[in-house]
Structure 1
Amino acid sequence: MSSPATTDRLDVWRDLIRDNFVALDIHADRDRTFAGSVRTSDLGHLTVASVESGTQGCSRTPGLARRDSDVYLQVGLIARGAATVAQDGREAVLRPGDFAVYETDRPFFWGLQGDWELLVFTWPRASIALDAGASQLLTARALSGGDGLGAIVGRMLRDLVTSPPELSAAGGVRLADEVAELVTTVAGERVSPAAPARAADDLLRRIDAHILERLADPDLCPTSIAAAHFVSTRHLHRLFAHRGGTVAQQIQRLRLERCRRELLDPRGSITDVSRRWGFTDLATFSRAFRGAYGMSPSEWRQRCTPMS
């Protein structure tokens, strides 16, 4: 997170907001002392910002929206104070911890009260896998950060500001995409109760592919899988519990299947086959194999090897 850019002048504040976000028409009480600050950092194509100031109204007018060629999807999370956000014929009241989605190619309004802090997350609209009709259904809806998936997403958003992760360029891009998907899932839940189920199915498909790609890696485990998909291990276990099993069981089942298939070829030792598919201990592999197939690896190989 960069050092805060601060000002005590409203005209400079407008320029500061324009330079870091988009051009807004900002109105504040000129009879009161004005102060404001903006801190930003980047994670891939996601810009993370903390904005602090006092009571004011911020309008993205039709003229300002038409003037900009760059289009963004933004999420505002009210960390302190109170706010209202309006777009697409809806208005949402946000309390600390709540967040809302809005887009910059259409008019919107933020009303911010008291001594407030707003966390703003900005993605290029082209990076979001939603068509225009779908995204317009998600805007200006109060999304609670206090329970359910909203609590997980809200905590993740706050952590991106307070404890930004140190990631490679590729890791930053992946994290930016994962966070965007989680945010749009939470917003979609307000519109369609089926949205979270679809999102969970999509996540499971990506996790299944990840497991298959790394099945031979002995370090593949629930912790590494959860980290690669930016979810908690608890959430990962909950996803697999709906299938009636565990992550570790799936990894072991797939590894054993690959080993059983390779053991049909009499060339190569049982130890080499087991290590090739992520087992680091022959005794552990043999016990798991017998538990799954009712015989030891050597018995399986003997049964399936033609007599010379």
Structure 2
Amino acid sequence: MAGLSGAGAVPAVSGIVAQPRGRSHGMGFARAEAIRGAYLLHDRFRRQCCEAESGETEDTVCVHEIGSTPIREYEFGSLEEYNRVMADAFVPLVVFSRQPTFRCRFRAAGHADVWCFDIAASDHVVQRTDAHIQASPTGEYYKVCVMLHGICTVLQDGREAVLRGGDLAVCDTTRPYTLVMSEGARTAVLMFPRALVTIPPSTASEVTATRFGGDHGVAPIVSAFLASLVDNLESFTGAAGHRLGQHVVDLVATMLFDGLELDEPAARRSPLMARVCEFIDERLHDPELSLGTIAAAHFVSTRHLQALFQRERTTVTAWIRERRLEMCRRDLGDPYLAGESVASIATKWGFVEPSHFSRAFKAQYGRSPRAFRDQLEAAA
């Protein structure tokens, strides 16, 4: 289905300057804050929907209840309302347009971690600036944009990508970016915390604002999956939707790894780190996984391996612990695993002592594993 067409040419972008790449963030605190931020995003979005349903906005809002999680549907007739709702419901940003009128149809479904959006709108520009980032220090997300119709120009980290039907690109919300939408753009957007992807942020930054064509590598699979998903948003609700969210994030991570291999400058700098992170994720269940076993498997010294992780402001041990905690957090929130005990989940991901796992989980996410699971079940 084509997007809502806007009259006129593409807004001029000559005054838009992509910001230089920022410094990498610390991994431990940043990961915990990213997960907390995901739940804040979920709460803000639900609050905005409630306000809209109560008639406090002037635009049309349709809410379709399907399963246990509603699909949210908005129709905006003014840029002012679109800015107000979007900037509060998501990470702070600004939307502007040179068109005399603005129309947008917006549909969304998802969970605390992963959200999928179907956005069809008149020509407009989206900007997230340094000021917006300073206003939302916990806004650490990746946004995957798939063009279904029209054209989108993505600018970030000194790069520019022009997307057409089937193409996609990734933005990192911890750094400034610009999206220029034109020719009745309709876009499928997937948004999730950076902590859900195993690739270190500084490595992933090598492929932001990079066109992943719909005809090469893993990108066509991701593009087709997201295009199908926005046409069947009801499948992204309930327990099945929770699992779908995990799978689509894994698909995106695979695409990013593939992109790093294709990008020669990035590949020269980060192939070992990417391989090590993948190796670790495949062996999180092994309690014997350690600095020594990882170094030996990759034929490097432990000192060299430590230096790689120090560039990410973390250590090998901390990375392993955080990845194990993330997998446990994911399983604790999975409705299909509601019958599996907390201790069983911890053991499955390499934790030997239940008490140690509980302390580590609470330190990372601010609540005990049982309290975390109970809260999600109550919310559902």
TM-score, length-normalised on structure 1? 0.59
| 1:11, distance to aligned residue in structure 2 (A) | 0.8
C-alpha separation in 2, matches of 1:168 and 1:14: 29
Which residue does 1:59 correspond to in 2?
127
Please tell me whether the aligned partners of residues 92 and 135 of structure 2 are also in contact (alpha carbons under 8 angstroms).
no
Which residue does 2:114 correspond to in 1?
46
Deviations 1:53-80 (A, max 9, x none): 1111111011001111232111011111
C-alpha separation in 1, matches of 2:242 and 2:215: 27
SS at match of 2:259: helix
SS at match of 2:115: strand
Which residue does 1:277 correspond to in 2?
none
Which residue does 1:122 correspond to in 2?
191
Which residue does 1:146 correspond to in 2?
215
C-alpha separation in 2, matches of 1:107 and 1:178: 28
Q: Which amino acid aligns with 2:109?
A: S
Which residue does 1:177 correspond to in 2?
246
C-alpha separation in 2, matches of 1:38 and 1:120: 11
Which residue does 2:206 correspond to in 1?
137
Task: Provide the aligned length of Structure 1 versus Structure 2.
Answer: 202
Which residue does 2:95 correspond to in 1?
26
SS at match of 1:92: strand
Q: Which amino acid aligns with 1:64?
A: H
Q: 1:109 to 1:166 in 2, by over 3 A?
A: closer
C-alpha separation in 1, matches of 2:145 and 2:246: 17
Matched, 1:111 2:111: no
Matched, 1:159 2:222: no
Q: Which amino acid aligns with 2:258?
A: E
TM-score, length-normalised on structure 2? 0.48
Q: Which amino acid aligns with 2:101?
A: T
C-alpha separation in 2, matches of 1:13 and 1:167: 24
Please tell me whether the aligned partners of residues 66 and 105 of structure 1 are also in contact (alpha carbons under 8 angstroms).
no
Q: 1:166 to 1:108 in 2, by over 3 A?
A: closer
Which residue does 1:80 correspond to in 2?
149
| 1:105, distance to aligned residue in structure 2 (A) | 1.3
**Identity level (%):** 28
| 1:3, distance to aligned residue in structure 2 (A) | 4.6
Please tell me whether the aligned partners of residues 138 and 188 of structure 1 are also in contact (alpha carbons under 8 angstroms).
no
| Ranges of 4+ aligned residues in structure 1 off by more than 4 Å | none
Comparing both chains, which one has the higher relative contact order based on Cα–Cα distances under 8 Å and sequence gaps of 6 or more? 2
Deviations 1:128-156 (A, max 9, x none): 22222112112111011234422111111
- Mean CA deviation greater in 67-76 or 186-195: 186-195
What is the aligned counterpart of 1:188 among 257, 262, 272?
257
| 1:19, distance to aligned residue in structure 2 (A) | 3.7
C-alpha separation in 1, matches of 2:202 and 2:72: 38
C-alpha separation in 2, matches of 1:96 and 1:43: 27
Greater Rg over alpha carbons, structure: 1
Please tell me whether the aligned partners of residues 60 and 109 of structure 1 are also in contact (alpha carbons under 8 angstroms).
yes
| 1:93, distance to aligned residue in structure 2 (A) | 0.6
SS at match of 1:146: coil
Please tell me whether the aligned partners of residues 88 and 140 of structure 1 are also in contact (alpha carbons under 8 angstroms).
yes
Please tell me whether the aligned partners of residues 143 and 187 of structure 1 are also in contact (alpha carbons under 8 angstroms).
no
Q: Which amino acid aligns with 2:184?
A: D
| 1:33, distance to aligned residue in structure 2 (A) | 1.9
| 1:189, distance to aligned residue in structure 2 (A) | 2.1
Deviations 1:264-306 (A, max 9, x none): xxxxxxxxxxxxxxxxxxxxxxxxxxxxxxxxxxxxxxxxxxx
| 1:39, distance to aligned residue in structure 2 (A) | 0.6
Q: 1:104 to 1:62 in 2, by over 3 A?
A: same
Please tell me whether the aligned partners of residues 97 and 144 of structure 1 are also in contact (alpha carbons under 8 angstroms).
yes
Gaps of 5+ in 1: 207-308
Gaps of 5+ in 2: 1-69, 284-380
Please tell me whether the aligned partners of residues 91 and 139 of structure 2 are also in contact (alpha carbons under 8 angstroms).
no
- Mean CA deviation greater in 61-70 or 15-24: 15-24
C-alpha separation in 1, matches of 2:183 and 2:201: 34
Q: Which amino acid aligns with 2:140?
A: V
Please tell me whether the aligned partners of residues 138 and 184 of structure 1 are also in contact (alpha carbons under 8 angstroms).
no
